[in-house]
Amino acid sequence: MSRAVLPVCLLLLVALGRAGAGSEPDQDQGAEEHPHPPGKGLGHTPWSYEDRDRWSEDYKDCDGTMQSPININMANTIFSPHLRAIQLSGYSLPASERLKLRNNGHTVALELPQSLAITGGYAQQYRAVQLHLHWGATTGPGSEHTINGHRFAAEIHVVHYNTKYDSFKEAMVHPDGLAVLGAFLEMGPRDNPYYQEILEHMHQIQREGEEVWVPGFNIAGLLPANLKYYYQYNGSLTTPPCYQTVKWTVFNQSMLISRDQMLKLITSLRNDDGKPLQNNYRHMQGLHGRRVLASFQTTFFSPKQLPAGSDSSAAPEEHSSSSFQAGDVLAVLFGVLFAVTALAFLLYIYKQRSQNARLDSPTKSKVIYTAATTENTA
Ligand SMILES: *[C@@H]1O[C@H](CO)[C@@H](O)[C@H](O)[C@H]1NC(C)=O
Ligand SMILES: *[C@@H]1O[C@H](CO)[C@@H](O)[C@H](O)[C@H]1NC(C)=O
Ligand SMILES: [Zn+2]
């Protein structure tokens, strides 16, 4: 009978190893809802961040079920090893190329030449059109996306459209039309020279509609150095008309700018009312069953990931990256722990048998029960 115990132990050992390595989490993010009355669909009317919860009265798409931004709950993201690093091309611009920087009343926007493109990480190719920022006020942060409920100081969006369409305007109404790259901005110890290329001109565009031509620079410097780790989901423009045509990429790595730079970002611009242009972010939108993919393994200690028999659609493990090996360590730890327990148990059985030949052998279910207990208390 005890000979049958070993295969069972090995089987459980394998199962435990898999669970410890961080398999696929559950996808429901349980984000907060912002219900809107049915939209009148007038379109093209002016909008402001003050009435951001009533946008759908004029722009019916703002009431949809695939809206952005969202809160990204890392434990509920789905690790997808086939998501490759984002590849940018043509992002390094010579100073001789002039770019238009504009205060459009909602944000500061830098127009980008069409030579900038996303050439990897997405299934299709996208051309850049524009980048802009979202920020808070001196009293609080203002990123649009949040991670585990945490709002970052600010957020950059680099807007691209699918090259299969002739223009951004045409692309923006098609489900596969747009790709936006987003990254968080946080306060760091020094000035960021790339962000300085934009921020040093903020005082020239204080009023809505003002614009200035700025020298080209390496636009990629505004995005994280690490383009391998990101989240991806299907969403929308975060301003009216809120078209649900954006494949979002939100990077895991944040950008750092100095405190002075952050202050400049937050306090320089005014909106159409002549008031400080601040808190230009939209509130979190409901997930409505959407999945959020992650190109990297996120947490390992979520209780949802421990039970055996997890999602069968779990993506295969990939160990090409060096920074996420906590799962491997955990797997080995669980394995060793289990092996020790199993051996001790086997020893115990043998002892019992030699002491009392008549003793009933333990059943399979008893062995499994012991294993499960070990796992839950580990
Ligand atoms: C986004 O939508 C496309 C097209 O409907 C779909 O193939 C893809 O799986 C979706 N992505 C996610 C992360 O759900
Ligand atoms: C990036 O990933 C690390 C490790 O999983 C995590 O601690 C951090 O909160 C993540 N940050 C963002 C912005 O996703
Ligand atoms: Zn934006």
Task: Read off the pLDDT of residues 156-196 as tens digits, 9 standing for 90 and up.
Answer: 999 999 999 999 999 999 999 999 999 999 999 999 999 99
Catalytic positions = 106
Residue type, 90: G
Q: Measured from the CB, is residue 234 less than 6 Å from ligand 1?
A: yes
Q: Cα–Cα distance between 293 and 288 in angstroms, integer? A: 15
Protein residue closest via CA to atom 3 of ligand 1: 234
Residues touching ligand 2 (Cβ under 6 Å) are: 147, 184, 252, 254, 298
Q: What are the DSSP calls for 242-309, one per residue?
A: --S-EEEEEESSPEEE-HHHHHHHHHS-B-TTSSB-----PPP---TT---EESS---S--GGGSSSS
Q: Which of 151, 228, 233, 298 to mutate to test the pocket of ligand 2 (most atoms within 8 A of CB)?
A: 298
- Range of weakest confidence among 34-43, 119-128, 174-183, 359-368: 34-43
Write the pLDDT tens digit of every residue in 30-84.
333 333 333 334 446 789 999 999 999 999 999 999 999 999 999 999 999 999 9
What whole-number percentage of the chain has pLDDT above 90? 66
Q: What is the mean pLDDT of residues 107-118?
A: 97
**Which of 78, 234, 288 maximizes ligand 1 atoms within 8 Å of its Cβ, making it the mutation to test the pocket?**
234
Q: What is the pLDDT, as a whole number, of residue 334?
A: 64
Per residue in 244-268, pLDDT (tens digit) is 999 999 999 999 999 999 999 999 9
Token pair recorded at residue 239: 């301003």
Res 292 pLDDT > 50: yes
Whether the CB-CB separation of 99 and 116 falls below 8 Å is answered with no
Mean pLDDT value of segment 10-22: 39
Query: What is the model's pLDDT at position 223?
Result: 98
What architecture is the 6-323 domain classified under in CATH?
Roll (3.10)
